[in-house]
Amino acid sequence: MDAIARMKELVPLLNEAEKAYYQEDREIMSNYDYDRLYDELAELEKETGVTLSGSPTTRVGYELLSELPKEAHQSPMLSLDKTKEPAALAEWLGDQEGLLSWKMDGLTIVLTYEEGRLFKAVTRGNGEVGEVITNNARVFANIPLKIGYQGRLVLRGEAVIHYSTFNRINEEIADVDARYKNPRNLCSGSVRQLNNEITAKRDVRFYAFTLVDAEGVDFENSREKQMEWLRSQGFETVFWRRVSRETVTEAVEAFSREIGEQDFPSDGLVLTFDDIAYGQSLGRTAKFPRDSIAFKWADETAETTLKYIEWSASRTGLINPVAVFEPVEIEGSTVSRASVHNLSILEALELGEGDRITVYKANMIIPQIGENLTRSGVSHIPEVCPVCGEKTEIRAVNDVKSLYCVNPACPAKKIKGFALFVSRDAMNIDGLSEATLEKFIAHGFLHDLTDLFHLDRYREEMAQLDGFGEKSCQNLLQAVETARDTHLWQLIYGLGIANIGPANAKMLCRAFQNDPEKLEKATKEELVEIDGIGDVIADGIVQYFAREKNRALLHSLLEEVRIAPENFETGDLPLSGKTFVITGSLNHFDNRNQLKALIEEQGGKVTGSVTGKTSYLINNDTTSSSAKNKKARELEIPILSEEDFLKLIGREI
């Protein structure tokens, strides 16, 4: 195939992938494939001197679809050229010095301040026109609404949702398939809400990365002085290191060591000339400014053999393909599985058993299939559901093909419901994996959740199951008995009420003083008065308890368990009003959850990231140079060892 013909194939393919990702918050190809095809197109354009109409190499982005008002940017917000080679960064810098900072993975926002107050916030949009989201920006968790500087200030930054917040929000969504795929998608939806009450609950954070204009302020021609000045005005900025040609490679290595410790999503680094005038003198191309360049992590890949495709049924009927391969070591951990997301991607990769594949971790975290080196082809798409054995159906939604079970009575939902109930944050019954639950349901041991407390009726039958001998039965039955002593919030969470995770379950039980009858009869008006409970969550609770069978289930379960008393008077507790962050390894606690439980018992709260609201950081390595320690020192937040913490609450070591 000649170069022009190949370019004609690549342009619409990449455009469709961009449209799906940026405009519709879905993926039709992996980031790895997108980058590979984009680079191929750019190389062909360079080779031929031809750029086709609509090429993604000349367009900054897609217009976003929403009802938010649109506004043109004063100056275009361009994409950045990129490299994966530290040596290329050194060459790019030359004799200049630069600032190397995190490239955060969220939504770029332009803020304008006038007379010391936030005047306007606009999303990047397509680079030329963005969406006005001023009301939403006002409720970002860390944005200054009023600053000391009284002139006109324009700056750019990234709105992000931290992994800890992302995980908390997902934990509160009982339906696994309804959970958000990644922090970027959640942030995009949160920032562009028409109701900023929803935005406020998402803990969106803004990190400044560029000062565009500040009338009358002399920054001595230095980007670094601009960033330091923004901090003095109350903005949180991206973390940066000052680098030269000699030190940039070492700085990249330092960032790469720290990425696993960061609570925020990042997809690389950005290098900018410190000399403002020099950077501006270089001008721009049609798509890229020449004063900055992006560095994307050169993904560590490993070659392995695909063993088989596992088909995982869900509570919604969606059946997801999961690639299972020979274990490989990547980025310091062993991986053997990776989601393939949907049939469209499975078919594009032509994955078949025995194929030689490459595997990598997207942004050094999430296992993904890179390439299929042998492409034997998709040999088998199940015609029946792996759970119920009923017919499956392929459906195309927005041009993405997925596999579904069409049986409304498929027990997959039942299995997932039992799995939630026995999980660690719910009833914590050890020894009941989904595979074991599936066996028990198939053999008629389990019909509803109360049957879990009467598995002793089937002790002899259980002992005859494959891999489930007398000792396993004994351990399981003991775990069931142990689970009878529980907290009401664990039982409520285990019911699987829509949008109720452990945190919300605790809030509900606290609000109703651990009285299940009050919770069951609560009105929507009573529920929305509880901090953290909005209309959607309240509706879900009311609808759940409106069903007689759900009320009967709760009453039956309450007869099976012993609810521990709770002390809800936290005003006089040692840690009331204190917020903690935990990092590093522990010596006196089995895990972080155990330490978190003690902090909450003493009236405190635990969050995932260090902010101005943090009271203490707990890290046994108090002198380390980790990102959390650095942030705590910058904000003058005390760093405690476990011993220091235990002394703080008057506990003996």
Alpha helices in 561-620 (DSSP H): 592-601
In this structure, what is the dihedral angle of CA atoms 148, 154, 156, 162, given to the nearest 10 degrees? 30
Q: Please pick, among 8, 84, 103, 361, the residue that the annotation labels catalytic.
A: 103
Supply 499's token pair.
């949008």
For 519, phi and psi rounded to 5 degrees? -65, -45
Q: What values do phi and psi take at 541, rounded to 5?
A: -65, -50
317 contact partners, CB below 8 Å, separation of at least 6: 404, 405, 406, 410, 412
Active-site annotation holds for 287: no
3-state secondary structure at position 27: coil
Distance of CA 278 to the CA centre of its chain: 38
Edge-to-edge strands of the sheet including 639-640?
A: 605-607, 579-582, 616-618, 639-640
Give me 55's structure tokens. Answer: 């090429």
Is residue 394 packed enough to be buried (19+ CB in 10 Å), middle (13-18) or exposed (0-12)?
Answer: exposed
Rounded distance between C-alpha atoms, residue 340 and residue 345, angstroms: 6
The single-letter DSSP state of residue 170 is: H
* φ and ψ at residue 58, rounded to 5 degrees: -115, -5
- Distance in angstroms (rounded) separating the CA atoms of residues 517 and 554: 10
User: Do 205 and 141 form a contact (C-beta atoms < 8 A)?
Assistant: yes
Strands 605-607 vs 579-582: parallel, antiparallel or unpaired:
parallel
> Which residues, other chains included, contact 630 with Cβ-Cβ below 8 Å and sequence gap of 6+?
239
SS3 (DSSP) at 440: helix
C-alpha torsion 238→296→360→25, nearest 10: 70
State the Cα angle at 294 between 204 and 191, rounded to 5°: 20
> Is the separation of the CB atoms in 110 and 78 below 8 Å?
no
Active-site positions?
Answer: 103
